[in-house]
Amino acid sequence: MGNSVFAVSNLYKRSRKKKKCKNGNKIREDRISHLPDGILQQIISLLSMKPAVCTSVLSKRWRYLWTSISTLNIIDQPDKCNVQDRIDKMRFRNFVEMVLLLHNPTFKHKVCLFLWMRPHGSRVNKWISTILNRKPAELLLDIDHGEHPLVLPCSIFTCESLTILTLDVDSVLTIPSSICFPFVKVMNLTNVKISCDQEIPKVSLTCPNLEELHLTDCLSKWDVDAINIVSPKLKLLEIWDIEDAYEHVYDREIKFFAESLLSLDITSNLPYNLSLHNISSLSEASINVYSEYDIGHHLEKFIEGIYTVKDLKLSIAALDVFIHICGREDHGWKFQTILQPFLSNLKAIEFRIFYGTDVELCLVAFLLKNARVLVKMTFISSSTLVAKKQMEIQRRLLMHPRGSTCSVIHYS
């Protein structure tokens, strides 16, 4: 803490610059002290907690300013497993408890807790409970739990003040079969593992006011057979989940009920059954799905739920899955049923780095036949193709029947 005091003192001293008056005499000007308390507290809020508390030594006026700042940034360092570090950890624990005891904001505030849980044990759970009792508007927990399980207090589900919740805890959270976040509007979950305390592991998560949901490396880790997420006001859903957990979660059912959803962005190997329901206002969707396993069934089911999307972006990997579905005779009719709602409005298609393989040409044939309002289909061939091969591809393209009488094919 000594270095923090030195740094803060220097900052304060630099604000007391010497100026010359007209008569040549030097006077000291304290610029910071002329600022109102609210602005000073905003400045202190930008600091991590130790230097923020150290501002209390600058003067009597500064002594208690930090106790009402709008943001608490409590940051711990990874332990080094030596004697001095254990002493430092003990001091840190005492420091955190002092901060939580004295901090008493009179307005909405944010609390960020970054720490390694191993040297602090069960105290972390008590700190979280204390933080929630102070009714924060925003809570960020970034905790490496080590060998100690992190048990979130039940009050985190019902805290009336909490509107933004960010959890990166890499721990198992045991929850009841039905939970509700009644007031949270923005939720960010990273590495959060969920298990259910019921004999049949099925969970229902209700978020009546949630508008944004970001899930990173979570869905594959949830130890439940089925989960329903109900969020009538959800507008943005982002999923990043590339864990290799195919064999363990293939039959898992994950359902989203979000009738107000506008934007969807998913990057996943889709090892589970993910589906969206009551989706009618979806404006844009970006789907980056890839896997070395057979996920055709999962992708089909997922696509069926977003047929009303106006702007659809599919990654090359996702298109490969579609191509293989298209190329299988037993799935051809279903493929047409799934994509028909998209095809009814499709006017332009572009293929880049086109090789002209049999499966690619199969997809082209399907689209040309079923996209009845298609105006233009563009092909940009792979630079590795020789002229003779390109001529053969063009010939095969022109032979395919077309559902649109005004469609044009451009090949380059």
**Residue 19 pLDDT level (bands cut at 50, 70, 90):** very low
- 336 plus 367 within the same structural domain: yes
In this structure, which amino acid lies at residue 390?
Q
401 in a structural domain: yes
193 in a structural domain: no
Q: How far is CA 85 from CA 24, 38, 80, 81, 91, in A?
A: 53, 36, 6, 6, 10
Are the C-beta atoms of residues 351 and 380 closer than 8 Å to each other?
Answer: yes
- 104 plus 28 within the same structural domain: no
- 256 plus 339 within the same structural domain: no
pLDDT score of 248: 64
**Rounded-to-integer distance, Cα 403 and Cα 152, Å:** 57
pLDDT surpasses 80 at 228: yes
**Rounded-to-integer distance, Cα 351 and Cα 381, Å:** 8
Strand 26-30 versus strand 16-20 pairing type? antiparallel
- 75 plus 161 within the same structural domain: yes
Strand 178-180 versus strand 311-314 pairing type? unpaired
pLDDT score of 215: 93
pLDDT surpasses 60 at 20: no
- 207 plus 309 within the same structural domain: yes
- Max alpha carbon distance in the chain (Å)? 97
Nearest Cα residue to 318 out of 335, 295, 344: 295
Give the global pTM. Answer: 0.75
Of 23, 43, 62, the one marking the end of a domain is 62
**Rounded-to-integer distance, Cα 370 and Cα 333, Å:** 12
CA dihedral angle for residue 141, residue 143, residue 148, residue 153, rounded to 10 degrees: 0
- 212 plus 306 within the same structural domain: yes
Of 62, 87, 111, the one marking the end of a domain is 62
56 CB-side CA count, 13 A:
16
pLDDT surpasses 90 at 342: no
The mean per-residue pLDDT over the stretch 222-250 comes to 82
pLDDT score of 152: 75
**Share of the chain residues as helix, strand and coil, in percent rounded to the nearest 5:** 35, 30, 40
180 in a structural domain: no
Number of neighbours of residue 105 by Cβ within 10 angstroms: 19
- 310 plus 342 within the same structural domain: no
What does the pLDDT look like over 36-57, one tens digit per residue? 888 888 888 888 888 888 888 8
State the average pLDDT for the chain.
78
- 47 plus 77 within the same structural domain: no
**Residue 140 pLDDT level (bands cut at 50, 70, 90):** very high
- The token pair that represents 197 in the structure block: 């305390």
- 272 plus 365 within the same structural domain: no
The mean per-residue pLDDT over the stretch 179-191 comes to 90
Domain count, the chain: 4
**Residue 28 pLDDT level (bands cut at 50, 70, 90):** low
Are the C-beta atoms of residues 194 and 222 closer than 8 Å to each other?
Answer: yes
395 in a structural domain: yes
Ranges 141-155, 156-170, 225-239: which has the least confidence? 141-155
* Residue of 65 and 213 predicted with greater confidence: 213
411 in a structural domain: yes
pLDDT score of 268: 84
Give me the DSSP letters along 123-149: HHHHHHHHHHHT--SEEEEEEE-TTSP
**Rounded-to-integer distance, Cα 53 and Cα 94, Å:** 13
**Residue 332 pLDDT level (bands cut at 50, 70, 90):** very low
pLDDT surpasses 90 at 259: yes
Are the C-beta atoms of residues 127 and 103 closer than 8 Å to each other?
Answer: no
Place of tokens 């109102």: 36
What does the pLDDT look like over 88-130, one tens digit per residue? 778 888 888 899 888 887 777 899 988 876 656 678 888 888 8
320 in a structural domain: no
371 in a structural domain: yes
- 310 plus 331 within the same structural domain: no
- 308 plus 216 within the same structural domain: yes
**Residue 180 pLDDT level (bands cut at 50, 70, 90):** confident
Of 22, 46, 62, the one marking the end of a domain is 62
Question: At 28, is the secondary structure helix, strand, or coil?
Answer: strand
Ranges 41-45, 102-106, 141-145, 332-336: which has the least confidence? 332-336
- 263 plus 280 within the same structural domain: yes
The mean per-residue pLDDT over the stretch 227-242 comes to 92
Q: Whole domain around residue 145: which residue ranges?
A: 70-170
What does the pLDDT look like over 383-393, one tens digit per residue? 888 888 888 88
* Residue of 221 and 168 predicted with greater confidence: 168
